[in-house]
Amino acid sequence: MITCLIVDDEQGAINILKEYIERTPFLKLIETTTNPMEVLQLVNNHQIDLIFMDIQMPHLTGIDLIKMLGGKCKVIFTTAYSEFAIEGFEYEALDYLLKPIPFQRFLTAAQKALNKDIFNMPDWQPEENEDDYIFVKTENKGKMVKVNFKDITYVEGLKNYVSIYTSDGERVVTLLNIKDLKARLPEKKFMRVHRSYIVALDQIKAVDGNQILLYNMKAYLPLGDTYRQPFFEVLKEKIMGGKK
């Protein structure tokens, strides 16, 4: 169970998050406050794993507080102002929820907090949302691009960067490594097939030896020897014909 604190100077926003937490089986609400000055005391007095925190608040902002917490708790920002997103991620916020917050988007952020590498908890999988998405920082400072999972055709790793190719022919370059991006993609939809490539399984048109052909793509992607066996394990239920 992940223990939570809600910090927002608007009671209405707190009430929405309280309802969302009550609907999420692996979250437990410990306390709420409209006064950011109380946050440090609450963290010291209670076992708090995760804080849902507004950014624009009187006296102390959410950015001020995440600096002061010094990593004691994980933070998911909840705000009506998208311009603070990049700064929030720079201070290692888990996620950034833009008000009004849909429940499914809240659940996606909460699932990220459930990552066993963060809280050493067993995995819990919500119903998959095929319309899910992420925002990625681009090469242009201050610019972020929304990428829908359903639009991704494949991903190419380029040292400290990745290129995300979409079904409409767009290429989005972002400062990420391929391992971190793979962790955010739905496991049932995407698979790593090479140290430099991730493919959307529903975009595969053909497999020829160690090469993968995607729809709307003339060139083949390589299938690495390390990834060959798990790749065919995933596909085996769909393979028909030929010798047994």
> Per-residue pLDDT for 119 more than 60?
no
Task: Please give the structure tokens belonging to residue 227.
Answer: 């990834």
- DSSP string across the chain: -EEEEEE-S-HHHHHHHHHHHHT-TTEEEEEEES-GGGHHHHHHHS---EEEE-SS-SSS-HHHHHHHHTTSSEEEEEES-GGGHHHHHHTT-SEEEESSPPHHHHHHHHHHHT-HHHH------PPP-TT-EEEEE-SSTT-EEEEEGGGEEEEEEETTEEEEEETTS-EEEES--HHHHHHHS-TTTEEEEETTEEEEGGGEEEEETTEEEETT-SSEEE--HHHHHHHHHHHGGG--SS--
pLDDT value, residue 143: 76
Q: How far is CA 44 from CA 41, 52, 210, 230, in A?
A: 5, 17, 55, 46
Cβ(153)–Cβ(214) below 8 Å: yes
pTM of the model: 0.50
Length of the chain: 244
Dump pLDDT digits (tens) for 13-34.
999 999 999 999 889 999 999 9
What is the C-alpha to C-alpha distance for residues 71 and 66, in angstroms, rounded to an integer?
A: 8
Dump pLDDT digits (tens) for 31-80.
999 999 999 999 999 999 999 999 889 888 888 998 899 888 999 999 88
Band of pLDDT at residue 92, cut at 50, 70 and 90: confident
What is the C-alpha to C-alpha distance for residues 242 and 193, in angstroms, rounded to an integer?
A: 23
Task: Please give the structure tokens belonging to residue 35.
Answer: 């006064």
pLDDT value, residue 206: 92
Q: How far is CA 185 from CA 54, 191, 207, in A?
A: 26, 9, 22
- Give me the domains of the chain, ranges plus CATH numbers: 2-119 (3.40.50.2300), 134-238 (2.40.50.1020)
- Mean pLDDT, rounded, for 76-101: 73
